[in-house]
A and B are shown apart, each in its own frame.
Chain A
Amino acid sequence: QQQVKQSPQSLIVQKGGISIINCAYENTAFDYFPWYQQFPGKGPALLIAIRPDVSEKKEGRFTISFNKSAKQFSLHIMDSQPGDSATYFCAASNTNAGKSTFGDGTTLTVKP
């Protein structure tokens, strides 16, 4: 049973556009939702994260929207740049149990 479902699998956006990646989860015990950015040949790097007590968190051009009742969260990249081209993973953690689950990833390509 896949606990975190991520979509789309791949995304192509024009420079300056908005990139939106969605994730849905099943386990209501999850209490921490990070997004990771991974460039080819590199390890994932924490991009932004949210806890379920807030509905939105913004850091620069990156925003997480969180809908607790729908058990969904999404990453929005405003003014997308070619340098944002990477694979993005959402994750969900049950920090009490020490368990984390990754989504399958979204490959983002931002065209100049």
Chain B
Amino acid sequence: DAMVIQNPRYQVTQFGKPVTLSCSQTLNHNVMYWYQQKSSQAPKLLFHYYDKDFNNEADTPDNFQSRRPNTSFCFLDIRSPGLGDAAMYLCATSRFPGLDTEAFFGQGTRLTVV
């Protein structure tokens, strides 16, 4: 049974048109992360929530925002997608920050910007 579920698996959006990616978890983990992974590269952390506390990485563009309305759900909002934002977006969860022993990734959402 999937424990970290991302929707949709594939998303096509127009240049400049806001898009939202979603992630849900059944693990009741405290921490939810959003990573951006471009082809043949390592996942790059955008931000994470530790419970309701939002932690933004210093080099994450303002174009990327996140919401966590409850423990189970977390959303990634891209306000004005550019061609350079085309990537796989990965959601992950863990009990505590730092990808501890119970870290799980979702299958990712492949974003295409046209």
Q: Is A105 a contact partner of B108 (Cβ separation < 8 A)?
A: no
Binding site for A on B (CB under 8 A): 4, 6, 31, 40-43, 45, 48, 50, 55, 90, 92, 96-101, 103-108, 110
**Dominant SS at the A interface?**
strand
A61 interface residue (CB < 8 Å to B): no
Q: Kindly report which residue of chain B lies nearest to residue A6, judged by CB atoms.
A: B42
The answer to whether A49 and B105 touch (CB under 8 A), given A44-B90, A103-B42, A105-B40, is no
User: Please, which residues of chain A bring their CB within 8 A of the CB of B98?
Assistant: 32, 93-100
Q: Kindly report which residue of chain B lies nearest to residue A95, judged by CB atoms.
A: B98
User: Please, which residues of chain A bring their CB within 8 A of the CB of B50?
Assistant: 98
Q: Kindly report which residue of chain B lies nearest to residue A87, judged by CB atoms.
A: B40
Q: Kindly report which residue of chain B lies nearest to residue A91, judged by CB atoms.
A: B99
The answer to whether A46 and B103 touch (CB under 8 A), given A89-B42, A95-B97, A105-B40, is yes
